[in-house]
Structure 1
């Protein structure tokens, strides 16, 4: 990497971190305002959105930290680097959103049976603030190149739409006494949150248990390697993911290599076969057909 390219890469990472930091402080500050505003306006819908924003704040905060840590080099303690730390942020987020969602439901469900009229003027003021703050944060992250920036931008746009819904409900209740709309909206928000929590929580747990990613599939990688003429058999094929984006593969390849030239040619073919998958790390051991594998661990292939 040239000095100029390295400087540009560093500047880009620094700019990305700065933008995520902006979004974090905006979201964190407004989440506090939301909880206070939800209590003052007696609105469970705003409380539900506050829980949603709290989850987003944790996501943005962990993304901000990881945006810095993710570029630290691997060392003797963290030999694969620090990318796997993102899973801890995902688990914390899952726990907070689950507890928060259960609390909102415990407040909202009784109000479906005995609706209480919220303070609609306050709801509209908070909705305007919510649209403005989340819209500005989304604008700050717009056009970002990193996956973190793109995912967080979609989260913030979701929040803008959520506040539009709060605004519409508040305006309706301003003219029509339908207090049940408030708990109905909060239950809808909360169910939306829970669906995402279950989906992301399941994915995170799979990563913790080192399940193979859905793409690339183990069978797909195996077939690509078996397509190499010199490869007779494959075993001890393992694929796992560091953080859901960066995958690792290891395998034992059985081949007849009668010379150093054959061996070097095989290595090149294996590298070419695996290149399209974009693995963060590959470890391939070449074994001769008559050689006994030293690893006795049960493997898939």
Structure 2
């Protein structure tokens, strides 16, 4: 699948997932109040966060595909990170609010409507399962966070179905707040982990799986290359990476030698999944302003 086809498929999936979650979240909020289930209300809060993330991801997926211009020379791909950051913050706040309601119910359990819980759980599994199928496989950090949220909600509804089935036959109202706390803790753990990755990308940390030392080692092994310095690697959106470096070649290197070095560098970086590479080449007897920093 080419890049444009992949983008169109990803956008269509995000759109459908957003519309499904928006409609179901409204039903879910009313259903949580109707069944008096804090577990369902916790799922509703998480689905509301998913609606925000899917809406932002849908909008920013198109915005991030805009071509580069004079103001944003690398393009607009980093805008997709805003969706990931906003979603993570919204879900963290929502989860803390749910915990503030669920914990007191451990001491004062309230009886939920088990039949209503089971009905909503079946619908929740169907809706979130369909949404997950449409967005899975996304490669950007924003898409991965959305996938994690939907997977968490799907597992949450499976747990709600299990607990409601037990409550139909056993009077154990304490299971409802316990399930709510477990669901919320699971989501908080994954959101916190992805929030850390998002912040690292904003701070231009080296993407996971890339070893700048190993890259410099391979570049230094090229014939006529004396030294390598100021190698920088960062990511635009968690998928499209950028590399810049400075090679110093021997003083007697000819133009033909330099062309061979450029070709060798291109071959080395060809399979490294870099969207932008900038390699400066200088001679060892030349003044290098970067080397002094």
- Taking structure 1 as the reference length, the TM-score comes to 0.89
Secondary structure, in 3 states, of the residue corresponding to 1:192?
Answer: helix
Q: Of residues 57, 67, 74 in structure 2, which corresponds to 1:73?
A: 67
Q: Distance in 2 between matches of 1:203 and 1:185?
A: 28
When the two structures are aligned, how many residues end up with a matched partner? 290
- Which runs of 5 or more residues in structure 1 are unaligned? none
Secondary structure, in 3 states, of the residue corresponding to 2:280?
Answer: strand
Matches within 5 A, 1:153-172: 155-172=149-166
Following superposition, the deviation at residue 195 of structure 1 comes to 0.5
Following superposition, the deviation at residue 171 of structure 1 comes to 1.4
Q: Is the 8 A contact 2:148 2:190 kept in 1?
A: no
Deviations 1:149-207 (A, max 9, x none): 98455653443332121011011111111000000000000100110111011111111
Matched, 1:173 2:186: no
Deviations 1:6-64 (A, max 9, x none): xx764553343223211110011111221222122211111111122223223322322
Instruction: Tell me which moved more, 282-291 or 159-168.
Output: 159-168
Following superposition, the deviation at residue 275 of structure 1 comes to 1.4
Q: Distance in 2 between matches of 1:293 and 1:24?
A: 52
Q: Is the 8 A contact 2:118 2:161 kept in 1?
A: yes
Which residue number corresponds to residue 40 of structure 2?
A: 46
Q: Distance in 1 between matches of 2:76 and 2:6?
A: 19
- Which runs of 5 or more residues in structure 2 are unaligned? none
Which residue number corresponds to residue 241 of structure 2?
A: 247
Which residue number corresponds to residue 18 of structure 1?
A: 12
Deviations 1:237-269 (A, max 9, x none): 111111111111111111025321111111111
Q: Distance in 2 between matches of 1:50 and 1:67?
A: 25
Secondary structure, in 3 states, of the residue corresponding to 2:68?
Answer: coil
Secondary structure, in 3 states, of the residue corresponding to 2:243?
Answer: strand
Deviations 1:58-102 (A, max 9, x none): 332232223322322111111111110111111111110111011
Secondary structure, in 3 states, of the residue corresponding to 2:246?
Answer: strand
Which residue number corresponds to residue 262 of structure 1?
A: 257
- Taking structure 2 as the reference length, the TM-score comes to 0.91
Which residue number corresponds to residue 279 of structure 1?
A: 274
Secondary structure, in 3 states, of the residue corresponding to 1:175?
Answer: coil
Instruction: Tell me which moved more, 150-159 or 261-270.
Output: 150-159
Q: Of residues 80, 89, 97 in structure 2, which corresponds to 1:86?
A: 80
Deviations 1:115-159 (A, max 9, x none): 1111112211211211121223234457x6x53698455653443
Secondary structure, in 3 states, of the residue corresponding to 2:227?
Answer: strand
Q: Distance in 2 between matches of 1:82 and 1:159?
A: 30
Which residue number corresponds to residue 293 of structure 1?
A: 288
Q: Of residues 24, 31, 44 in structure 2, which corresponds to 1:30?
A: 24
Instruction: Tell me which moved more, 284-293 or 30-39.
Output: 30-39
